[in-house]
Structure 1
Amino acid sequence: MAAELVRGQNHPLPGSRLEIRVSAGGPVMAGATLGDEDGRLREPGWIAHPASPRLPGLEVSRQAAADHRIAVDLEALPEAVHRVNVLLALPTGAGGPLSFGATAAPVVAVTGPDGTGIAGYTITGLGTESAVVAVELYRRLGAWKVRAVGQGYAGGLAAMLEDQGLPRARELAAAVEEAIASGAARSVAPPPARTGGEDRGRRTAPAGGPPAAPGTAPDALPYAPPDTAAALRPASRGPTAPTAPPPPAAGPVDYRHPRRAARTAAAPPPPPPAQPGPPGRPARPVAGDAAGWSMEERLYNQVWGMFEDLARTTAAYRSAVDFADSRMEQELDKALADPRSRIGAAADTARARARERHAQLADRARAAFERDLAQLTAESEVVEPALPPAFARWDSPVWHAYQVPVETPMAVRLGDLGLPEHSGLRIPMLMRLPLERGLWIDAGRTRSAASLTADPHETRRLAGELATAVAGRLLAVHPVGDFTVHALDPTGAAAPTLAPLSESGALREPPATGPQGVASVLAGLTRRVDLVQMAVRTGATDALPPDVDPAEQLLIVHDFPHGFDDRAVTRLRYLADEGPSVGVHLMMVADREEAREYGPVLDPLWRSLLRITPVPDDHLADPWVGHAWTYEPPLVPGGSRVLSRALGQVAEARRRYGR
C-alpha cells in the first residue's frame, strides 16, 4: 500500500524508474527542475516544461491539464543532478482560478512503472499561491527518496524559478505561458461514439475546458490508495459559511446529461423559486431547486449540492472546535508560564476564564452547525421521496410503480454517505452513467467496527447480496437490451445470493462455474473489447460481427481467486484497464487478504476499482475538505421482493421485444 505523506515527510524510492501522477481540480502546468547538491539550477536546460518537455531521464506534459503523468528514470539523469523538483503552476489569462486556494487541493502520487503505488501527497494549506513545488526527489548517500514539499509562491512560476537561482527567470516563465496558451488553443476531436447507437455515447469535454466529469462526482476519483480512495467533489451551490475551497474555477463541472449535448450552448433554466418561510427563518426546502434541464437533472445537482453543504459545514465546525482547543491551550500555557503563579487564586481564575472562553466558542460553533444540519435534514426529507428509481433507496415507494425505462438515467445510487457528527443524515452517493470504473466489493474484514464484529460468513453473504443489488439496479434503470450482466461463480457458493438475477431470467446466461466456465466468459468479453476497440479506431463500428453484443456489459466475479489461473487473472486486469472505454465493467466480490498471493500482479486491478463494503465503513476519503465519509451499502431490505419484481419486469420486457 502506498504511503500517504504529510508536508516535510520523506519516503524511500524502491527503484529508478518512476511515474509521478498529478490530479488537480482544474488545468495546471506540470514541470520539473533539476538541482545540484545545493539544490540550485545550473542552467536553463535543467528545466522540463511544456515548451521543452524532455530532459535526459525526464518527460513532462506539453500543455496544461487537470491530470498529468510525469515519467522519471533516475539512472538516466545527469551525474551532477541530486534533486528533481516537481512544479505545478496555474496558467494565466485562461479565465481559470488565480490561486490554488480557489480550487481543489492537488494530489500527487509517485508510482512504479506498472502503477504500483509508492507514495501519495495531497497539497493542502495553499491560499494566494499560483505556483507550488509539489514534491522533491533527492539523492542522499547513494539512495533516492521522495519528500512532500508543498512550497507555494504567490508570485507564480517566475518567483518560483527565481527562488531556485535561475537567471532571467521571468523570460522563461513568459515562454512557458506562451507554450501553454498555444497548446490550449489546439482543439482535440472527441472520440467516436460507442457502438450500439448514439444513446450510449460517452461524455466529451467542452472545448477548452476540463473533462465533464466525481472532479468530482464519485465517478471521477483522483489517485489514492484503495483504502482511502474516493475524492468526492460536487458542483458548487453558491456561497456558504464554511471556508472549504470551492470547486475548480476553470468552469463548473458539467453535470448535464450527455444526450443533451445539442443544448449545451445555452444555460439551463434557473431553479424554481424557493417557498418563503416564516419571518427570520430559512426558506422551506423544495425538491428539485437546483438548475437543470429536467427534474432528474435538478434532483441530481441538488443531491450533490447537499453533499457539498454537509462537507463544508462539518469542516467549518471541526475547524472552529480545533481553534477553540488551541486557543485554550495557549491561554493556559501563558497563564502558567511563570512557576510562581501556577498555584493560587490568580491561576484558578485564569484557568476558569480560558475554559469559559473555550466553551463559548465551542457552543457558538455547535449552534451554527446544528442550524445548518437542521436545514439539510429538512431538505433531505423533501428530496428523498422525490428521487426517481435510479436515485432512490430500495424501500422507496417509487419502486412500487416501477416500469422499465426508455432512457438511461444520469446516474445510479451506490449507497449513502454520512459523517459521524450527525449519524441520522445520509446523502445519496450517485455515480454517473455510463460507468467509468468498476467496483470491488470487499468480502473480508476491514478496519470498521461493523466489520470487526461481524461474522466472516455473514460478511461474505452480504457482499454477494450487495453485488446482486447493484447489478440488479443497473439492469433495472437501463432501457431493455442496453445492459447485460454476466456472473462468474467458480465454486457455486454464490448461487443463493445470485438467485434474484437467475430466477427472474434477467441473466441471459446462467452463472459460469468451474475453471472452464470462467475461462469461456473471460475469453468472450476479451474478444468483445478487442473487436470494439478495433472498430472504433478504424471508424467501422457498423461492421462488427453479429454475435458481438453492443450493450453495456457488467461482469460479476465471485470468490476470487478460486477458479482463476494466471491467464484468467491477466484477462481480468485487461478488462479492468481497457473495458470501461468500450462498455465492459468489472464487479469483483473478493477478500483482499485471500487474493494477496498474486501480489504485484493484482495491485493494478485493485487500484483501478472503486471499493465499497457490505457493512458500514469509513474508508472513503475526501481530500477536498479532509473528511473520511461513512459509507452505507444499498442492500435490499430483508424479506423485500422489490428487486425480484423489478428484475421480473426487465426479463418480461426482454422476452416481449426479443432482446
Structure 2
Amino acid sequence: MTAELVRGQNHPLSQVRLEIRISAGTPIVASATLGDENGKARGVEWVAHPGAPTLPGLEVSRQAAADHRLAVDLAAMPEAVHRVSVLLALPTAAVGGPPRFGAVAAPFVAVTGLDGSEVASYTITGLDAESAVVALELYRRQGAWKVRAVGQGYSGGLAELFADQGLPEAHHLAGGIHDAVARGLARSVPAPQRTADGDRTRQTAAPAPGPDQAGPAPQGAPGPVPPHSSSPYHPQGAQPGYPTGSSDPSAVTQPSAPAAGGPVNYTHPGRQTAAPPPPPPTAPPAPPGQPAQPVAGDATGWSMDERLYNQVWGMFEDLARTTAAYRSAVDFADSRMEKELDQALSDPRNRIGGSGDAAREAARTKHADLVDQARAALDRDLAQLTAEAEVVEPALPPAYARWDNPVWHAYRVPMEIPMAVRLGDLYLPESELLRIPMLVRLPLERGLWIDSGSSGSFDESYADAHALGHLAMTTAVALAARLLAVYPAGEFTVHVVDPAGSGAQALAPLVRSGVLAGPPALGAAGVTDVLTRLTQRVDLVQMALRGGAADSLPPGFDTAQQLLIVNDFPHGFDDRAVNQLRYLADEGPAVGVHLMMVADREEASAYGPLLDPLWRSLLRLTPLPDDHLADPWVGHAWTYESALVPPGSQVLQQVLTLVAAARTKYT
C-alpha cells in the first residue's frame, strides 16, 4: 500500500534497492546530493547531476526531461552517507523568462520498488517563485532508512540550494549543471518557435484524467495517509500525530518557511498516483490580480468527507506557513536593525551631534517598513484563509462540525465510521479570529487527557477548582457524545468511572439518555470492577489476534470500540488500579479500548515519576483555551479551544436521544 505523503511526513523503507520516479509535465533537471550525519554534503563529489550522473549507490538522469527515473541502492551507500536528497530544478534554457515552479504543474515524486510497486509518493504543492526544490530525502536513522517529503523551495535556484547544503563554490556547480543541461537540450529538444508577441511557447504533457474528470480510478488506491509528524493538527502517535512527544524523533522537521510574499495555495494534496490534474471548474475564475474564490471540498479525495478533511489539513498547513514567514520576517527586521545600530554607534564620532540620532532613526524606519510589508502579506493570506473558512465551516459533516452548526439539526445515526472527528479548534496569536478545526483520525490511536488543573490561560471566572473541574468534565462529556454520534449504532460503548460522584451533574446528559454501558462506577469497588473487565477484554482480544483466531471470541462478546472516562483520578485508585490504567493506556488502543481521563496532574504527584509514561501517552486537552500544543514542524505553539455545546442549546440531548434509540434498536 502506497503512503501518500505531505510536507514533513516520513515513511519507513523496507527495501534498499529503489527507483525514484518523477513526473512534472515540463522539462526539469533531476539531481541528488549525499549528506553526512549533519545533513551536509562534503563536496561536489557528493552531488549526482546531469554532468556527473553516477555515484556509489545512486544514478540520476543525464538531461532535463518531463519524466525521470533515478536508481538508488541504499545498501551500496558509503558508511559516511546518512541522507540522500532528491533535487528538482527548472532549466534556464527551457523557459522564456525567469524560471519558477509556480508557472508549471506541481511535480509528482514516487519511491518505488524495482518491480514498480509504489512505496511512497508526494505531490509538491505550494511553490511559487522557487526555481529549485528539495523534493524528498532518504535518510538513515538507527540503522533503518526512511523517506521524508520535504518540498523546500529556493527562489535563488540550485545555487542557493547548494549553498544551503554547505557546498563550496555553489554558484560554480549550479552553473556547470545548467550548462550541461543546455547542451543536452540543444541536442534533443527542437528550438521553440516565437509567437507574434515575442513570448516563447511551452509544451507540457497533458495529465491523465482522474476520477473527478470521468477518468478511471486507480486500482487499489489506498486511503489518505495523514502527515507523520508530531503536529497539533494530527495528535496521534502513529500519524499527523498531534501532540508533543512523538516517539519517532525523525518525525520532527522544520522546513524553511516560504517567502513572506507567497500566495496561499488552495490546492491540497490527497490521493494521487500521477501528476495531479487541474481541479474541475467549481467557481468562476477570479479577476486578474485577485485571489481565487475558495470552494468547499476543492481538495482531492474520493468522497466529499475526504475532500473536506484534506482541505482542512491544507488550511492548517497554509496558516502555519504564512505565520512562520511573518515571524521570520520580523526576526530578520529586528536583527537587521540591531546590527545597523551597533555599526552606527561603534564609531565614536556618531555618539555626539546629530549623526547618531539620524542613524538610529534610519534603522528604525527600515525596521518599520520591513515589519509593515510582512504584516501586509500576512493579512492578505489571513483574509484568504478566513474567506475559505467561512465557506468550509458550513459544509462540514457532523463529525467535523461545531455543535452550533445547523448540520446537527438534520443528524441521523451514520451507517459508516467517518475518517476523523473534531476535538476542538486551533489558532495562533497572529490570527485569533481564524479557527482551524482540529480533526483526529478514527479509530483513536491515543487516549485523551482533559486537564482539570489550572492552565497558562487562566480565566478568573474559573478561579474555583471545583468550577474548573466541572468544566473539564463537561468538555469530556461533549467529546464522548460526539464520538457516540459519529459511530454506527452499537459500534461504540462508553464506560464511566466517577469514584466520588463529583461528575454527576456534567454526566447527566449521558446518564439520562441511556447511552452508557452502565451507571457510572462509584467508589474503589466500582473502579476495580470496571478496570478488571476492560483489562481482561484487552488480554482476550490480544490472545485471539496473536493466535490468528479473531473470529473465535466468546458468544455475545462486545466487539464495539470501548471508551473509559475516568473522573477525579487518582481518587479511588490504589497501586493495582493505577497499573491497570497504565496498561489500558498503552495496550488498549490497538484492540479498541480507549481512555479519556479528567484529572489534574498535580493531584497525582504523590505517585511520582511512575505516572509520567501515562501522561505522555495521552493527548492533553484543556477546558480553557491554552497554547500547549507544540508544533515541531515549523515551531509554533498552537492554542487549543475545546468543542463545547453552546449554552442553552438542546442539540446535545437531541443527538444523544437518537443515538440511544438506534442503540436500543440495534440490540
TM class by shorter chain equals: 0.5 to 0.7
Out of 553, 565, 568, the position equivalent to 2:577 is 568
| Alpha-carbon offset, residue 616 of structure 1 | 0.4
The 1-side partners of 2:581 and 2:506 are apart by: 22
CA displacement 1:411-451 (0-9 Å, x = unmatched): 00000000011211110000000110000110011222438
Out of 457, 467, 470, the position equivalent to 2:466 is 457
Write out aligned runs for 1:527-538 (5 A): 527-538=536-547
Is the contact made by 1:490 and 1:515 (CA closer than 8 Å) also made in structure 2?
Answer: yes
The 2-side partners of 1:86 and 1:643 are apart by: 59
The 1-side partners of 2:502 and 2:374 are apart by: 52
The 2-side partners of 1:268 and 1:310 are apart by: 25
The 2-side partners of 1:107 and 1:395 are apart by: 47
Whether 2:610 is the aligned partner of 1:601: answer yes
Q: 1:444 to 1:293 in 2, by over 3 A?
A: same
Which has the higher mean CA deviation after the structures are superposed, 339-348 or 529-538?
Answer: 339-348
CA displacement 1:546-590 (0-9 Å, x = unmatched): 242100110000000000111111111111111111110000000
Q: 1:293 to 1:464 in 2, by over 3 A?
A: same
| Alpha-carbon offset, residue 228 of structure 1 | 4.6
Whether 2:311 is the aligned partner of 1:302: answer yes
Whether 2:10 is the aligned partner of 1:26: answer yes
Is the contact made by 2:472 and 2:598 (CA closer than 8 Å) also made in structure 1?
Answer: yes
Partner of 2:651: 642
Out of 519, 529, 535, the position equivalent to 1:520 is 529
CA displacement 1:515-544 (0-9 Å, x = unmatched): 111111111111111111111111211110
Q: 1:281 to 1:94 in 2, by over 3 A?
A: closer
- Can you give the 5+ residue segments of structure 2 that lack an aligned partner in the other structure? 1-7, 15-35, 38-72, 87-109, 113-119, 125-131, 143-149, 155-163, 168-219
Whether 2:534 is the aligned partner of 1:507: answer no
The 1-side partners of 2:403 and 2:345 are apart by: 59
Is the contact made by 1:107 and 1:222 (CA closer than 8 Å) also made in structure 2?
Answer: no
CA displacement 1:331-367 (0-9 Å, x = unmatched): 1111111122212122222122111111111111111
Is the contact made by 1:235 and 1:305 (CA closer than 8 Å) also made in structure 2?
Answer: no
Is the contact made by 2:85 and 2:138 (CA closer than 8 Å) also made in structure 1?
Answer: no
TM-score normalised by structure 2 residue count: 0.65
Amino acid at match of 1:640: S
Secondary structure at 1:562's aligned position in 2? coil
Amino acid at match of 1:607: R
Partner of 2:442: 433
Out of 235, 240, 260, the position equivalent to 1:219 is 235
Q: 1:448 to 1:333 in 2, by over 3 A?
A: same
Q: 1:127 to 1:280 in 2, by over 3 A?
A: closer
Write out aligned runs for 1:350-389 (5 A): 350-389=359-398
Is the contact made by 2:227 and 2:239 (CA closer than 8 Å) also made in structure 1?
Answer: no
The 2-side partners of 1:226 and 1:411 are apart by: 13
Is the contact made by 2:229 and 2:633 (CA closer than 8 Å) also made in structure 1?
Answer: no
Is the contact made by 1:317 and 1:366 (CA closer than 8 Å) also made in structure 2?
Answer: yes
TM-score normalised by structure 1 residue count: 0.65
Question: Sequence identity of aligned pairs in percent?
Answer: 61
The 2-side partners of 1:240 and 1:337 are apart by: 34
Out of 622, 631, 651, the position equivalent to 1:613 is 622
The 2-side partners of 1:100 and 1:107 are apart by: 21
Q: 1:270 to 1:435 in 2, by over 3 A?
A: farther
The 2-side partners of 1:414 and 1:240 are apart by: 29
Q: 1:225 to 1:477 in 2, by over 3 A?
A: closer
CA displacement 1:71-104 (0-9 Å, x = unmatched): xxxxxxxxxxxxxx99954588957899997679
Q: 1:300 to 1:102 in 2, by over 3 A?
A: same
Q: 1:329 to 1:300 in 2, by over 3 A?
A: same
Secondary structure at 1:611's aligned position in 2? strand
Whether 2:588 is the aligned partner of 1:579: answer yes
Partner of 2:482: 473
Is the contact made by 1:484 and 1:551 (CA closer than 8 Å) also made in structure 2?
Answer: yes
Partner of 1:147: none
Q: 1:429 to 1:271 in 2, by over 3 A?
A: farther
Out of 420, 423, 433, the position equivalent to 1:414 is 423
The 1-side partners of 2:506 and 2:573 are apart by: 21
Q: 1:301 to 1:325 in 2, by over 3 A?
A: same
Q: 1:87 to 1:474 in 2, by over 3 A?
A: farther
Amino acid at match of 2:430: E
Q: 1:524 to 1:270 in 2, by over 3 A?
A: farther
Write out aligned runs for 1:44-123 (5 A): 89-90=83-84
Is the contact made by 1:268 and 1:291 (CA closer than 8 Å) also made in structure 2?
Answer: no
| Alpha-carbon offset, residue 28 of structure 1 | 7.2
- Can you give the 5+ residue segments of structure 1 that lack an aligned partner in the other structure? 1-23, 35-62, 65-84, 110-123, 129-151, 156-203, 247-251, 257-262
Whether 2:461 is the aligned partner of 1:445: answer no
Is the contact made by 1:506 and 1:651 (CA closer than 8 Å) also made in structure 2?
Answer: yes
Write out aligned runs for 1:114-513 (5 A): 217-221=233-237, 228-229=244-245, 241=259, 270=279, 273-450=282-459, 454-513=463-522
Count, aligned residues: 484
Q: 1:489 to 1:108 in 2, by over 3 A?
A: farther
Secondary structure at 1:595's aligned position in 2? helix
Is the contact made by 1:107 and 1:223 (CA closer than 8 Å) also made in structure 2?
Answer: no
| Alpha-carbon offset, residue 453 of structure 1 | 6.3
The 2-side partners of 1:390 and 1:553 are apart by: 18
Q: 1:278 to 1:224 in 2, by over 3 A?
A: closer
Partner of 1:623: 632
CA displacement 1:290-310 (0-9 Å, x = unmatched): 111111111100001000100
CA displacement 1:452-509 (0-9 Å, x = unmatched): 9633221101100001000000000000011101000111111111111110011121
Is the contact made by 2:270 and 2:299 (CA closer than 8 Å) also made in structure 1?
Answer: no
Q: 1:394 to 1:614 in 2, by over 3 A?
A: same
